[in-house]
Amino acid sequence: MASSALIGKLEADVEIKASPEQFHEMFAHKPHHVHHTCYDKIQGCDLHEGEWGKVGTIVHWSYVHDGKAKKAKEVVEAVDPDKNLVTFRVIEGDLMEEYKSFVITIQVSPKSEGSGSVVHWTLEYEKLHGGIAHPETLLQFVQDISKDIDAHLTQAS
């Protein structure tokens, strides 16, 4: 069993102007469009196996994090349109050099007051050893992506 010091969970909320459905649609059904919203961070998302928006689908991300070009192959573990939730498990790529497991969950909820939404990001991971840092910079990265996607989704309205 892994030491509790190696297992971690980071969470963050990002307020956006777009609807929960609009934002969820980007990651659940159109992740291949995400790079259009933030090309400086995401260079692409390709369908490796399966079908967009379906559990079991495997996607391949190309992104720039901490100034370095990186790759991630992820399997879609959950898609729940009623909760505007999608979960990706990283199965190959740069993160696997430091983490035994890495799961990213994105859930979007309507704001309690007014229009807009709250994007809740959860990063759950197990580090390979104690010398690996917690992925705080990756948490900031996904928050920044949320803002870029929101700007893209709301620019036409």
> How do residues 44-61 score in pLDDT, each as one tens digit?
999 999 999 999 999 999
Helix, strand, coil percent content, the chain, rounded in steps of 5: 25, 45, 30
Percent of the chain clearing pLDDT 70 (strictly above): 97
pLDDT of residue 25: 95
Task: Report, as an integer, the average pLDDT of 13-39.
Answer: 94
Tokens 């069993």, located at residue: 1
> Are 103 and 116 a contacting pair, CB within 8 Å?
no
Cβ atoms within 10 Å, residue 74: 24
Question: Given a cut of 90, is residue 20 above it in pLDDT?
Answer: yes
Question: Given a cut of 90, is residue 16 above it in pLDDT?
Answer: yes
Report residue 78's pLDDT band, with 50, 70 and 90 as the boundaries: very high
pLDDT of residue 3: 62
> Are 121 and 2 a contacting pair, CB within 8 Å?
no
Rounded mean pLDDT of the chain?
94
List the domain boundaries for the chain.
Answer: 7-156
Report residue 156's pLDDT band, with 50, 70 and 90 as the boundaries: low
User: How many angstroms separate the CA atoms of 148 and 2, rounded?
Assistant: 36
Question: Given a cut of 70, is residue 71 above it in pLDDT?
Answer: yes
Predicted TM-score (pTM) of the model is 0.94
| 7-156 fold | Alpha-D-Glucose-1,6-Bisphosphate; Chain A, domain 4 (3.30.530)
pLDDT of residue 114: 86
Question: Given a cut of 80, is residue 157 above it in pLDDT?
Answer: no
